[in-house]
A and B are shown apart, each in its own frame.
Chain A
Amino acid sequence: MEKEVRSSYFKESFARLKTHKLAMAGLVVLSAEILIAVFLPFILPLDPYSTDMGAFSSGIGVGGHILGTDTIGRDIFSRLIFGGRVSLFVGFFSTAVSLLIGVPLGLIAGFVRGAAEAVIMQITDIFMSFPAIILIMAAVAIVGPSVWSVSIIIGLLGWTQFARIVYSKVLSVAQMDYIESARAIGTGRLSIIMKYILPNSAAPILITSTYSIANAILTESALSFLGMGVQPPAASWGNMVYEAQSIAILSSKPWIWVPAGMAIVIAVLSINFLGDGMRDALDPKINI
């Protein structure tokens, strides 16, 4: 009985999501991006690393390069696709790291209460009073920049929002009558968490995750743009824009830096549209 109710909630939500045009557009674009980034290199002979000796920073379409080449003759289109792999990976992986830390901490703080709660929320406060990018920059400089270190560090510093959301959700759900009755019939703490608290927190966690992915993509691109993130020859959208710090490339070779910048905008925009649509769809109370 209970299962039926729950599945119909998500079914209803999805039906609502389908009527949300922007969210569906976001979903389509995001899925297309993921499919292209993952599978296109298997279909087309894309080579983001090797130099075309005949074509240094050649324009769009010259010498068989769809989007031209960069200053040392690497194919921009290939780098865009491989850079997309990196950006999307950083977005999803760092969010997974944040979830793995933030959700358990939020559960503990809200459910165990007492000293654990005070300590965890104090730590959350400490982490939230830093501008994340500065800590991330310092940490990446210390550990050494790579795709893995960048995504792990972004994840390690992004868990606070999940801890806070789960914590407040636990506090509010724990006061509900059905939790009281579950306790009364002797349900253990762990199964109360798994059966009632987590499903109730699923919607806000999902919504926060989408924003967290978008933020991680933006953070990685900013780091790489400053030369502190993903290092060449590996491609990332941020380090492709890095080249525009030279005024000559900025002013006369826009094909080198504009596509990567546009790619970031499109990826983040589609994720945010999807997140917004999900927020509206998962909350039947709101009707704006």
Chain B
Amino acid sequence: MEQDNSCLFVFHNNTITIINFKKSTFNSILMGVMNMRLQAQGGYMKSKYFMKRIVIAVPTFFGITILVYFLASLAPGSPLDAFMKDPRITADELARLKISLGLDKPVYVQYWNWLCNLLHGNLGYSFSGQRPVFNIIKERIGATALLAASSIVLSLVISVPLGVLAASKPKSKRDYGSSILSMLMMATPNFFIGLILIYFISVKMKLLPSSGMYDANGTKNVFMLLRHMILPCLVLSFQQIGNWVRHMRSGLLEVLTEDYIRTARAKGLSKWKVIWKHGFKNAFIPVLTVIGMSVPTLIGGAVVTEQLFGWQGLGSLMISAINARDYPVIMGTTVVISVIILLVNILTDIAYGCLDPRITYK
């Protein structure tokens, strides 16, 4: 049944399409791998569905670790190169290092050791600083989380009203205006809008700082952090706002054609009351999925944004690790980011299931 839906809505809007793809994939995996089909419904089925959703994430997790390890093992040069630069090092010491780093064993043994360590929270030691990768990531993750979370809030605050405004009067001037604006925002690379903002707001008007998280004088407080966060947050949200406005608009338009909207209008409710009370609530559920699906893009965007603004988060850590060819840091960061995205996807699915009573669980 749901597979039929995915056909019907393929063009309608991306939101619906994505959801139905996910559902049909999910169903097919359920039938294919587990060969099970459950007919009953209710709370018990719901929790069972959620358990399945979590179980299905396990092979994905292992797939991610294999991919990351495979990619890192393709890299030219070996971790020993860094030590070989030292003119005082002897062949003996090199051989000892090779064994202590486990580089003398076959690749799958190395992968297994790495995986076991990973599951124990040991992500290895950074080549450049000789510090535990786990600690480095722990130091940096807060900054990225802060930036990403505030960007989600900012994007919602701006895109929801714009989307509703556009959908409330389709094909009007304000509809075209908001859709052209959102297309323009989506087409602007975040580094370009970042440079423009730095040019006008930091350099010309000297209103806000253009880099770092705190002032150079050493004092740290929340106010200072907020001042430094405004520009990166705007830049990180820019493309996302454009995207979400479009989803909000098309989601709401879809809902507004439903019969219950006509009923609500017919019983004498005002247009805006109908939009907010009946339309918005239903249109927001797919938007929730869009927010969940935006997280990979958001973290990808954070790489550029953090680099541009000298924000000390995971993104700038990733870039410096790639430039230094610090593989344990690259691998650790990639795995951590992917696990976060995996968790967000699960949470989105569960939230979607809880919020939309129309979904049935097979």
Contact = CB atoms under 8 A, between A and B. Distances in A.
A117 B74 contact: no
Interface stretch (A4-12, A32-40, A63-71, A121-129): A121-129
Which range contains the number of A residues in contact with the other chain?
Answer: 35 or more
Given A118-B32, A122-B29, A138-B330, A131 B63 contact: no
A175 interface: yes
A248 B259 CA distance: 60
Contacts of B67: 126, 130
A129 B32 contact: no
A216 interface: no
A11 B25 CA distance: 34
B258 to A, nearest CB: 14
Contacts of B10: 165, 168-169, 204, 283
Nearest to B176: A22
Contacts, number: 184
A193 interface: no
A226 B304 CA distance: 7
Interface in B6-26: 6-7, 10-12, 17, 20-21, 24-25
Given A122-B29, A279-B11, A138 B188 contact: no
Given A130-B341, A222-B191, A137 B303 contact: yes
Which range contains the number of B residues in contact with the other chain?
Answer: 35 or more
B293 to A, nearest CB: 9
A129 B322 CA distance: 20
Interface in B175-191: 180, 183-184, 186-191
B195 A257 contact: yes
A148 B344 CA distance: 34
B192 A254 contact: no
B342 interface: yes
B74 A142 contact: yes
A233 interface: no
A168 B192 contact: no
Interface of A: 22, 113-115, 117-118, 121-126, 128-135, 137-139, 141-142, 164-165, 167-169, 171-173, 175, 203-204, 207, 214, 218, 221-222, 225-226, 228, 238, 241, 244-245, 247, 250-251, 254, 257, 261, 264-265, 268-269, 272-273, 276, 279, 282-283, 285-286, 288
Which 6 residue pairs of A and B lie closest in terms of their CB atoms, listed nearest first?
A: A172-B7, A283-B11, A131-B300, A133-B300, A126-B63, A261-B192
